[in-house]
A and B are shown apart, each in its own frame.
Chain A
Amino acid sequence: MFLDILRQFWTSTGFSALTIKEVVMIGIASGLLYLAIKKGYEPYLLIPIAFGMLLTNLPLGGLMAEPVKEIVKDPVTGQMVYKTKEVGGLLYYLYQGTKLGIYPPIIFLCVGAMTDFGPLIANPRSLLLGAAAQFGIFFTFIGAKFLGFTGPEAASIGIIGGADGPTALYLTTRLAPHLLGAIAVAAYSYMALVPIIQPPIMRLLTTEQERKVKMQQLRPVSKKEKIIFPIVVATFSILLLPSSAPLLGMLMFGNLIRESGVVERLSNTAQNALSNIITIFLGLTVGATAKADSFIDITTIKIIVLGLIAFSIGTAAGVLFGKIMYKVSGGKVNPLIGAAGVSAVPMAARVVQKVGQEENPSNFLLMHAMGPNVAGVIGSAIAAGVLLMFFGS
């Protein structure tokens, strides 16, 4: 009797159901938590993602369990109706916001409310650097196809090169939701590693003379320009590419409430409370999709490698286009700022500042790099829109 109870208790615990793969996943989640907490790698996202990963791989918890439905005859009307037999897990319901593409555009709204497009308006040509850096997306897209991924999968992997978390998550939920965990981990890990990945590429592709270039001070931008910018960009881009509407629409709306100056409370909420709430939900649920069965697979390793290639090629393309602008402008543009075109705001711009200052301590490239940096956000959202147009159902 007592032994039976003990045995039953044992089978009801997670320990009895734990598989080797799940143990490995718990190890990976712990590793990511270490990197986030101890090393400070994108902790705001990596902690929720890693903890979501941990929770989903503890067996029998059922946090991501889908609800069980049955078809029964309605006793009153006599019709066959769906009835929920068992409700789903907590994270399953929160995950619907990710799956249905709701959280990433809301994050974009918050990003818009935090972004100052002033440096971009002051130097509009820096938009081209933001475009050039998107080449990493398509290079990786081709590479992924060669490695045997399907079209929609290759597009989702390529978008890691956009170095923009919400864009990558949005496109992946639309095109290849089964890869969400791996792509999220790759995208956010590499974004944290921007200060390590980018500088060698930047130094390799530029000469000392180019890195020393001091750029002209940016002109001041009027409030009117800042207010009209989001309205014009949203209208034009969405008319050109309707599939980019959720991301760009929200980004520009967020920016408008910031710049309008008359809805301070909305702007504050978007920049702080809303952004934090959605980050928690998004991180936890994206992490929770990384289940042992699907995550521990050669596919994940391929995605991690391709993601690194995407980042590197994007940086290189930006810098090379910066070199073209350096030549065309007669040496007025510092090609380093091209590296900021990969987005990863504001980390990539800070890396540019740092590398530029190593060569010339009196050089301040930060504001010049912010132009391509925020252009990269618009660029990757447009790239995501184009890929969605091709592969979206």
Chain B
Amino acid sequence: MLGDNITIGQVLIVTVFSMGIVFLALLVISYIIDGFRFVFYKENKGVDKRQKKSIEPEKIEPKEIFNEEEDDEELVAVITAAIATNISRPASEIKIRNIKRVPTNTPVWARAGRFKQFELIDR
């Protein structure tokens, strides 16, 4: 459309027009994505289900500690504290019955990132 030699005026027109197109395109895409939320995402249902899921198990859990290794007691303490902080309830309300190691699906980089976070907080 334009050649090698362009005037300053043309440069400014290209700049304004291009920025306009970039903004317009991304704005329209952002509105399309807004549409996704209404069509595919049922906010309330999703939230209710998740809340139920996360609260129910703690109430049922009876008192029994799975002893296998020496460190288990410490592990239980750590897990209890983590759950207590997460759901904002005193640790005395939570009883750990069973601990099972779940095979991790987290990618290596995500784990590396988390470790880095821990290091930062420790400092």
Contact = CB atoms under 8 A, between A and B. Distances in A.
Contacts of A387: 14, 18
Interface in A220-258: 220-222, 224-225, 228-229, 232-233, 236-237, 240-241
Interface string B12-25: 10110111011101
Nearest to A387: B18
Interface of B, helix, strand, loop or mixed by DSSP:
helix
B94 to A, nearest CB: 23
Interface in A99-125: 120-121, 124-125
A131 B23 contact: yes
B55 interface: no
A120 B37 CA distance: 12
B22 A382 contact: yes
Contacts of A222: 40-41
A386 interface: yes
Given A151-B3, A225-B40, A135 B19 contact: yes
Interface residues of B, number: 38
Contacts of A225: 33, 36, 40-41
B4 interface: yes
B53 to A, nearest CB: 13
Given A219-B41, A386-B21, A229 B46 contact: no
Contacts of B6: 145, 150-151
A305 interface: no
B11 interface: yes
Given A127-B30, A150-B5, A375-B26, A220 B46 contact: yes
Interface string B84-123: 0000000000000000000000000000010001001100
A210 B111 CA distance: 29
A127 B8 contact: no
Given A145-B11, A240-B25, A386-B21, A124 B1 contact: no
Given A151-B3, A222-B41, A390-B2, A382 B33 contact: no
Interface in B23-57: 23, 25-34, 36-37, 40-41, 43, 46
Interface in A337-386: 357, 361-362, 364, 366, 375, 378-379, 382-383, 386
Interface residues of A, number: 49
A224 to B, nearest CB: 5
B12 to A, nearest CB: 7
A391 B14 CA distance: 10
Given A219-B41, A225-B40, A232-B32, A390 B26 contact: no
A372 B15 CA distance: 21
A387 B5 CA distance: 15
A241 B25 contact: yes
A134 B4 contact: no
Interface of A, helix, strand, loop or mixed by DSSP:
helix
B87 to A, nearest CB: 15
A390 B14 contact: yes
B25 A390 contact: no
A346 to B, nearest CB: 9
A313 B11 CA distance: 18
Interface in A133-148: 134-135, 138, 141-142, 145
11 contacts: A121-B36, A124-B29, A138-B19, A142-B12, A225-B40, A225-B41, A228-B40, A232-B29, A241-B25, A379-B26, A383-B22
Interface of A: 120-121, 124-125, 127-128, 130-132, 134-135, 138, 141-142, 145, 150-152, 154, 219-222, 224-225, 228-229, 232-233, 236-237, 240-241, 357, 361-362, 364, 366, 375, 378-379, 382-383, 386-387, 389-392
Given A222-B40, A382-B21, 20 more contacts: A124-B33, A127-B29, A128-B30, A131-B23, A132-B23, A138-B14, A138-B19, A150-B4, A150-B6, A151-B10, A222-B41, A225-B40, A225-B41, A228-B40, A236-B32, A375-B26, A378-B29, A382-B22, A386-B17, A392-B1
Interface of B: 1-6, 8, 10-12, 14-15, 17-19, 21-23, 25-34, 36-37, 40-41, 43, 46, 113, 117, 120-121
A-B residue pairs, 8 tightest by C-beta: A124-B30, A124-B33, A150-B4, A151-B6, A138-B15, A127-B26, A386-B18, A127-B30
